[in-house]
Structure 1
Amino acid sequence: MIGRSVSLAALAALVLAAQASAQAVEVAPLAAPDFFSTGARETGLAPDLWRGASGQTMRTVLPLLAAKPLSPAAQALARRILATGAAGPDDAGRDAAVAGARVGALIAQGGVKDAAAILSRTAGLDQNPVLAQAGAEAALLSGDDDGACAISDKLTAGREDAYWLRLRAYCQLKAGNSGVAQLTFDLAQSQARDPVYGRLMGAKLAGGGDPGAPALRNGLDYALTRNLGLPVNGPASPAVAAALAANPTGPAIWSIEGGPGPVKAAMAALAAGDLATVQTMRAGLTGDTIPGATITDLALLDAMISAASGKADPQTLDRLIERGAVADPKTRARAQQAALLLAALGAPMSPQARGQFAGFTAAEAKAPATRAFALDLAGAEKLPGETALLALWISADAGAGGPAAGDRARIVRALKAAGLEEDARAFAVEGLLAVR
């Protein structure tokens, strides 16, 4: 009997312990969602993209990508990393404001469909005004006014902010509720007067009159401009400009003139992404004299083919270094910059070539030394997300023309070291096209 009593007591203790453990699990708070784990599409990047990356750097760079134009290579890199589903760095992945900045940056760089895909898989959109606004803008920029209005209708937090009042007035008018729309419009203007929105929406409410010039500051402006039948042209924000340009989500491409001569035509085909045709065209260019081309032009074409294909070509690098050492000043600068970019991709040099290369002076750099050093470190430590952010920071400061030659070469080298070889090649090809 004593043994049975002890067994029953032990069993009871185990049951109580299990119940206490279950209760502890039930009341444990759930971790905040990581917004960055939701991706838009397969990008070829690993789920540890943001391993070791700085949340502070991300908070600095994302708003720049939403506000500044980038070169095609930088745009492609931005779209690729921001469309990737991967847990965000530090606490940034759980910050709704940072998640909204990610979507805003995607929209600004032409990834409107990617942004919409991410938001369609993001829970709690109706409770987060930052993410909801990004979703509404993505819908408006893609011409889905009804989708934007649906987001506005479901929003439960921040509904009285000026943006939502303006959008709600537009949606109410679209639904035929002109009286309610007028009241909402008046409330929006009394809260935060916006002359541009006022004249566009005022003309819409009046059913006629002169709305003035088109406005393309954001998705709502774009929707009103389009709805009023105004020409969709003029100064546009990066987000609207990217939406109008209908940028692809694939590799970077460039538009350049295709002549005169077969070498320039081949360069134009390569800029458009047709590497196979370019290789065929190059095979047909033989002899010492090629119409419309110099020795340096041909070396530049070979460098572009090498960079685009990812095949190291020491012979082409040697020719560029030779031209960079002996040609006339203008040609010398072009050859030196091209040699730097090809070397950054990893093409080997002979000892003699290294000696000549070390004396080159044509490749300027404009990025702060600390930022360039941080880029070098991120590449060396094989941190793809951090390396990409720093490369995009330098690119955003440089503008649509892309980074200076010295900065570009460091970007190429760092991206390649971090495992972002596709993007490294794109930056190299872009730089070579710039000195063609």
Structure 2
Amino acid sequence: MGRGLLSTALGALAFATAAGAQPIEVATLSAPDFFSNGARDTGLGPELWAGSSAQTARTVIPLIAAKPLSPAAQALARRVLATAASGPDGAGQDPEMAGARINALIATGAVKDAGVILSRTANLERSPVLAQAGAEAALLSGADERACDIAESLVSGREDIYWLRLRAYCQLRGGQAGAAQLTFDLAQGQGRDATFGRLMSAKLAGGGDPGAASARNGLDYALSRSLGLDVAAAQPSPAVAAALRPSEPGLATWTIDGSDPVRTAMAAVAAGDLAGAKVQRGGLTAEGIAANDLALLDALIAAASGKPDGPTLDRLVERGSVSDAKSRTKMQNAAVLLSALDAPMTAHTRGEFAKFSAVEPGKATVAKATALDLAGDAKLQGETAMLALWLSADAGAAGPPVGDRARIIRALKASGLEEDARAFAVEGLLAQR
């Protein structure tokens, strides 16, 4: 083809292409939502966080890792944080929030869930916070090689003190004693740590007295274990303690003492054996058994079964009106907790119930309590769970006081988190025994 003909042809093609071209829309790929990676089927759907406050989630999720929680609160945290669901607006794309989620799961004993989520998370090495959570989860589960792989592939933050310490340990594991010594010296120069120093020094020396085991974190735990130290004798941090006593997914359970017939039936409820508790209750009569004990046992069984009935609540209200001062408080507390599960009341019962003045009051601020009510009424499951956990974290391992607990129960039930509402009710009723 001649030059002139070729130019004419190309010009015609360009004209035809321009004339027939359609506008091209370029789609911008959104950042990955870390919360969409779940660990298991929790019974909650992908809309868990829809409409929920990201600010509340950013406040509460780190608290779960930092503060002790009651069994009911731990079960709620494990369930919500293990769910595959797009995170609260903006928070799901935040690697720091993703790391906080993993740390919270570890702190509630859900090490397996944390590991599953991490295995499904791409580009872990691009976020030092998320990578550190992954490394700690690996070290606590005995997967030291996995932790070292994470440290090796880290893209940024490699000179932070945590990674220097971990890299020294990993280099020594890999037979690089010289490099491990240099990295160890660099780490100690950047931030001297007596506990890590004595453990790692013994490891580098291949002998000597390393002192007592340490379980402050996953790295200390791994070092102590590799030195053959008695890790069980170490005082673990709350997160490590929970991680070393992993909790299986599912309902919360409790352990109570006692060998009398009522306590035995209560213990069955606490252990999740509702059928056994019902059988034992069927063999009990009022003869020789305190009326308050039977009333509380019936309330426990009703709450655990999700069938809070009117007659059972009526008896609690009656006992809360006529018992001695100490027992009156317990019966009134129990009545408030069962009523929070929407147990029906007669007009007479409501009248007696309204007179109660010995119920343990709540401690939540008016704003926080109102926010919980609003979230529950709006069926914002993620936000309701976060606010319930916020009140629980404020209260500590014993769980929230009755005034706050009743509010939590009502909000959880209203939002559709009925399983968790029942757990909070059972936990509160067990405390009245």
| TM-score, normalising length: structure 1 | 0.93
Q: Distance in 2 between matches of 1:224 and 1:246?
A: 20
Partner secondary structure for residue 235 of structure 1 = coil
User: Which residue of structure 1 aligns with residue 83 of structure 2?
Assistant: 84
- The residue type equivalent to 1:211 in the other structure is P
Per-residue deviation at 1:11? 6.4
Q: Distance in 2 between matches of 1:400 and 1:15?
A: 70
User: Which residue of structure 1 aligns with residue 21 of structure 2?
Assistant: 16
Partner secondary structure for residue 339 of structure 2 = helix
Q: Residue deviations 1:370-425, cap 9 Å, x none?
A: 11111011001111100000000000111111000111000000000000000000
Q: Distance in 1 between matches of 2:19 and 2:234?
A: 74
Q: Distance in 2 between matches of 1:364 and 1:214?
A: 43
Matched, 1:389 2:394: no
Q: Distance in 1 between matches of 2:412 and 2:394?
A: 18
User: Which residue of structure 2 aligns with residue 103 of structure 1?
Assistant: 102
Per-residue deviation at 1:10? 9.9
User: Which residue of structure 1 aligns with residue 343 of structure 2?
Assistant: 347
Per-residue deviation at 1:306? 0.4
Whether the 8 Å contact between 1:109 and 1:238 is mirrored in structure 2 is no
Per-residue deviation at 1:9? 11
List aligned pairs for 1:22-37, cutoff 5 A.
24-25=25-26, 28-37=27-36
Instruction: Rate the CA distance shift 1:234–1:329 in 2: closer, same or farther, 3 A.
Output: farther
- The counterpart of 1:405, out of the listed 402, 407, 411, is 402
Whether the 8 Å contact between 2:299 and 2:308 is mirrored in structure 1 is no
User: Which residue of structure 1 aligns with residue 299 of structure 2?
Assistant: 303
Q: Distance in 2 between matches of 1:13 and 1:345?
A: 68
List aligned pairs for 1:276-425, cutoff 5 A.
276-286=275-285, 288-290=286-288, 293-361=289-357, 362-425=359-422
- The residue type equivalent to 2:306 in the other structure is G
- The residue type equivalent to 1:146 in the other structure is E
Per-residue deviation at 1:152? 1.2
Per-residue deviation at 1:246? 2.0
Partner secondary structure for residue 156 of structure 1 = coil
User: Which residue of structure 2 aligns with residue 5 of structure 1?
Assistant: none
- The residue type equivalent to 2:324 in the other structure is D
Whether the 8 Å contact between 2:75 and 2:252 is mirrored in structure 1 is yes
Whether the 8 Å contact between 2:53 and 2:89 is mirrored in structure 1 is yes
- The residue type equivalent to 2:195 in the other structure is V
Whether the 8 Å contact between 2:34 and 2:93 is mirrored in structure 1 is yes
Q: Distance in 2 between matches of 1:375 and 1:29?
A: 36
- The residue type equivalent to 1:238 in the other structure is P
RMSD (Å), alpha carbons: 1.6
Partner secondary structure for residue 395 of structure 1 = helix
List aligned pairs for 1:5-404, cutoff 5 A.
12-13=17-18, 15-17=20-22, 20-21=23-24, 24-25=25-26, 28-232=27-231, 233-257=233-257, 259-286=258-285, 288-290=286-288, 293-361=289-357, 362-404=359-401
Per-residue deviation at 1:343? 0.1
Structure 1 unaligned regions, length at least 5: 1-7
Deviating beyond 6 angstroms after TM superposition, the runs of 4 or more aligned structure 1 residues are 8-11
Partner secondary structure for residue 21 of structure 2 = helix
Q: Distance in 2 between matches of 1:30 and 1:156?
A: 22
Q: Residue deviations 1:72-102, cap 9 Å, x none?
A: 0000000000000111111111111111111
Whether the 8 Å contact between 2:381 and 2:417 is mirrored in structure 1 is yes
Partner secondary structure for residue 213 of structure 2 = coil
- The residue type equivalent to 1:271 in the other structure is A
Whether the 8 Å contact between 1:165 and 1:187 is mirrored in structure 2 is yes
Whether the 8 Å contact between 2:135 and 2:150 is mirrored in structure 1 is yes
- The residue type equivalent to 2:411 in the other structure is A
Q: Distance in 2 between matches of 1:213 and 1:350?
A: 62
Whether the 8 Å contact between 1:67 and 1:237 is mirrored in structure 2 is no
- The residue type equivalent to 1:294 in the other structure is A
Q: Distance in 2 between matches of 1:274 and 1:86?
A: 31
Partner secondary structure for residue 47 of structure 1 = coil
Per-residue deviation at 1:32? 0.9
* Percentage of pairs with the same residue: 66
Q: Distance in 2 between matches of 1:359 and 1:52?
A: 38
Aligned length: 420
Q: Distance in 2 between matches of 1:241 and 1:224?
A: 16
Per-residue deviation at 1:244? 1.6
